[in-house]
Amino acid sequence: MQESGGPVVDAHVHLVDFLQRPVEAGELVTAMRAAGVDRAVVFGLPVKKKWAMSEPRRPHYYLDGNDSCHYFGLTDQLVADVYRALDPELQARVAPTVCGFDPTDQLAVEHLEWAWSRYPFWRGIGEVLLRHDDLTNLTAGEQPSASHPALDPVFDFARARGCPLALHHDSSSAGRAGDHEYVPQLDMMLRRHPRTTVVWCHAGVARRIEPRRQTDVVADLLAAHDNLHIDISWSLVDRILGEDGTPSEDWTALIGRHPDRFVVGSDNVGRPDGLPGQIKNLRPLLDALPAGDRRLVAVDNATRLWFG
């Protein structure tokens, strides 16, 4: 599964959409080949969007309509079904992960125990949705936090299983430009669990999160926590490349200081038709890195974390 741009391990692919409709195994394989994706880390989605009677149109995304989302544990079974439909050669190139639990539920770890007891093939946990722009307010129940006590057993479980824990946790709330008021919660949890491998999805950046001085925040966390890695995907890619598509010198310099701590992903949600284009969007950043760093970020780091 290679193309002229060189192989990539896509560390962030969702096999369902926000209505929990799964992809077909054949669709995933075709998209990976078209994108030059050698291996993929695949997630479900921990929440499902409700279609309310008051909404005249069927939603497709969490922002479609004002109704709520709710936690949906069956998402992990849907991921398992897609994975089991792959032939053995392809299964070796796909790392399935577990995410279908409420991160504010102090019994959340029991869901992980169930998933691991049912299937032996899980390679990680995530994407766990904590602070997430408008999705936080749209999700029914208690608001999650990176330092919530319900997550301590989850961190411990990931360490015991030797698998990465991928977290989406915005560094600030929408409309509070660059305050980074939620970063101390993540820092606190990393200090409590220094032996758990954590992947911070999008480095705290989301659609309406203004990432002022984001490279300084990420640099400080990487220096303080050897167990932290950064997932470059979704809106973070747009921030790094800017309007003209040129990679930010601040970000390329930061990656150059820690080339073994970054991975890249498409963050494709649902049907993978868009995956080749999303991987193509990553190429200018990868091409701006020295060859050794590019190999680490594009392939080797994700291979070590999820396929080692």
pLDDT digits (tens, 9 = 90+) for 262-308: 999 999 999 999 999 999 999 999 999 999 999 999 999 999 999 98
Q: What is the pLDDT of residue 2?
A: 38
**Residue 41 phi, psi (nearest 5):** -100, 120
Q: What is the pLDDT of residue 230?
A: 98
The dihedral of CA 279, 62, 78, 108: what is its sign? positive
Q: What is the pLDDT of residue 88?
A: 95
Q: What is the pLDDT of residue 4?
A: 41
- In a domain? residue 2: no
Q: What is the pLDDT of residue 64?
A: 84
- In a domain? residue 173: yes
Residue 127 preceded by cis peptide, ω within 30: yes
Contact 43, 67 (CB under 8 A): no
pLDDT digits (tens, 9 = 90+) for 145-170: 999 999 999 999 999 999 999 999 99
Give the residue with greater pLDDT, 243 vs 103: 103
- H or E element in which residue 70 lies: strand 69-71
Q: H helices of 36-106, where?
A: 75-84, 88-91
- In a domain? residue 190: yes
- In a domain? residue 220: yes
Spatial CA neighbour of 200 closest among 227, 224, 170, 168 = 168
Range of the domain at 134: 8-307
Mean pLDDT, the chain, as a whole number? 94
The CATH number of residue 222's host domain is: 3.20.20.140
pLDDT digits (tens, 9 = 90+) for 58-109: 888 888 888 899 999 999 999 999 999 999 999 999 999 999 999 999 999 9
- In a domain? residue 276: yes
The model scores a pTM over 0.75: yes
Q: What is the pLDDT of residue 177?
A: 65
CA dihedral 302, 303, 304, 308 (to 10 degrees): 140
At what angle are helices 275-287 and 25-35 packed, to 10 degrees?
A: 30
- In a domain? residue 1: no
Total number of domains constituting the chain = 1
Which residues, 6 or more positions from 300, have their beta carbon under 8 angstroms from its beta carbon?
A: none
